[in-house]
Amino acid sequence: MISRRILLAALLFSITLTSFSTSAADALDFTLEAATGNSITLSNYKGKVVLLDFWATWCGGCKIEIPWFMEFAEKYKGEGLVVLGVSMDGDGWQSVKPFIKENKLNYPIVLGSDSVAERYGVDAMPMTLLINRHGRIASSHIGLTDKSVFEDEIRTLLLGK
């Protein structure tokens, strides 16, 4: 059972990371296997706004946010948004592929790795980053975040701000 101190620390950490950064760090590149069998390399999306979501099939907050991300993927694809899901499920495609099919995910899903999770500091899910067109992390959200926060940040990044 998680202690209240840990939950409070996670909440405070989440609040700290949810605002736009004026000194954004470069998004660390990776190449991971996609559900289609192809490989996806993050740096190939430079020039696009990327919503990068670290999630798992067992994560309650993830299941709430994924339909929003599907909506954003469809609504803003013509303006340059790419949604990319990084599954952190321990059993790999065994859980993920049925989840993709059942929920009709409309954006690419890749299998995460321990090294990518470590490089991005993923220790709780969902963890969602918004990456600007220059490949720099504009915002990071740990835990369930309000849909309007994501959409406001997406719109701002799509406008180039």
| Residues with a known catalytic role | 59, 62
CB 111 within 8 A of CB 99: no
CB 154 within 8 A of CB 20: no
User: Residue 54 belongs to what H/E stretch?
Assistant: strand 49-55
Please name which of 92, 89, 85 lies closest in space to residue 59, comparing C-alpha atoms. Answer: 89
Which residue is it, tokens 């969602």? Answer: 128
Alpha carbons 82 and 157: distance in angstroms, whole number = 12
Encoded tokens for 74: 């469809």
